[in-house]
Amino acid sequence: MKDIAIGIDIGGTAVKIGLVGKSGLPAEKWSFPTRTEENGRHIIDDISDSINKKISELKDREYNILGAGVGLPGFVDEDGTAHGSVNLGWTEPFNIEEVLSQKLRGLPVRACNDANAAALAEAWMGSARGYKSMMMVTLGTGIGGGIVTGGQILAGAHSCAGEIGHVCVNRDETAPCSCGRAGCLEQYASAPGLRRLIKEGLNTDMGLEEFWEKVRGGDEACTGIAKRFGSYLGYALSMAAMTVDPEIFVIGGGMSHAGQVILPFIREGYEDSVLPVCQNTPIVLAAMGNDAGIIGAAALALGNVRCTDTKI
């Protein structure tokens, strides 16, 4: 019998599910659209129906399903309570681990925030593989973050550990952040945040792809904006270094698709602010692609990212 876990990645547009062995590679994966209508009330049933169908198809295969892990865009407490999700239409808190476990005939279910799942995937199979501690920062529409230490997520007392997007990097800001405060990193280093810096600095609605292309080409004005972006993000990373001191920082999310061009700016901002002893901490791009959510969620179900290398 091969031990496997089910990894579930609930996104705002699609639910991705995979069967993942202890080697960390998905043996099988599938996906379907996320039905966010009616406050996302069908999502959990769609997931359990799909998995129960798959399990019945697998009954002749030699799999021992150890449990299921779920990553979702929203806060999840250590006891499994999901505190709503704007992207999924969920407005009321509920214990997703209990509800899903019941619908999966008692299969153990663990849930976490999707940035934490991405962090687990990078720690297990990606850029932070082999490191004892890491911090992941996902730069997208918002900024998420996750800390993995000793193969486990550091969730914190309020599931807030690693939420670097809402670290204040500018006390003089007056425009409000999505969290209701002002001056958060997310207001400068997320995709909308960087677009805002470009608009304010260059008075143009230039897309981010074009922007990074110009930075690559040495455009002075764009390079100046990239430096501002890097100084905010590097400053926030330096504060993380002073509190959790990870062995490596991994930068992921849609913005990281711009590639290596973003790293020197982040590095410069980081080195400007951090204590010299932490100056050489690597800052690298995420390595996991579309399967990161599935793999990270499966790692959560398996309990530790340092699994054996049993081939599936």
User: Would you say 188 or 211 has its CB closer to Zn ion?
Assistant: 188
User: Would you say 183 or 246 has its CB closer to Zn ion?
Assistant: 183
Stretch that binds Zn ion, among 82-90, 184-192, 194-202, 210-218 (CB under 5 A): 184-192
Helices 208-216 and 191-202, interaxial angle, to 10°?
Answer: 70
CB 23 within 8 A of CB 14: no
Beta bridge partners of 33: 14
User: Which 3 state secondary structure label does DSSP give 176?
Assistant: strand
CB of 186 to Zn ion, least distance (A): 5
Rounded to an integer, what distance in angstroms lies between the CA atom of residue 236 and that of residue 25?
A: 33
CB of 223 to Zn ion, least distance (A): 27
Q: Which of 76, 123, 139, 184 binds Zn ion (CB under 5 A)?
A: 184
- 86 near Zn ion, judged by CB under 5 A: no
User: Would you say 179 or 275 has its CB closer to Zn ion?
Assistant: 179
269: Cα separation from own chain's centroid: 22
Q: For 38, left (φ over 0), alpha (ψ -120 to 50), or beta?
A: left
CB of 235 to Zn ion, least distance (A): 15
CB of 189 to Zn ion, least distance (A): 12
User: Which 3 state secondary structure label does DSSP give 257?
Assistant: helix
Q: Which class for 204: exposed (0-12), middle (13-18), buried (19 or more C-beta within 10 A)?
A: exposed
CB of 187 to Zn ion, least distance (A): 7
User: Would you say 184 or 292 has its CB closer to Zn ion?
Assistant: 184
Contact pattern from residue 137 through residue 176 relative to Zn ion, giving x for each residue in contact according to CB under 5 A and a dash for the rest: -----------------------------x----------
| CA distances in angstroms from 222 to 169, 198, 216, 229, 235, listed in the order given | 21, 8, 9, 11, 20
Q: What is the number of alpha carbons within 13 Å of residue 146 lying toward its C-beta?
A: 29
Stretch that binds Zn ion, among 87-95, 121-129, 182-190, 247-255 (CB under 5 A): 182-190
User: Would you say 179 or 221 has its CB closer to Zn ion?
Assistant: 179
CB of 181 to Zn ion, least distance (A): 5
CB of 179 to Zn ion, least distance (A): 3
Q: Which of 44, 118, 120, 177 binds Zn ion (CB under 5 A)?
A: 177
Phi, psi of 176 (to 5 degrees): -75, 145
Stretch that binds Zn ion, among 16-24, 153-161, 178-186, 225-233 (CB under 5 A): 178-186
Which pair of structure tokens corresponds to residue 223?
């390079």
User: Would you say 118 or 184 has its CB closer to Zn ion?
Assistant: 184
Q: Which residues bind Zn ion (CB under 5 A)?
A: 166, 177, 179, 184
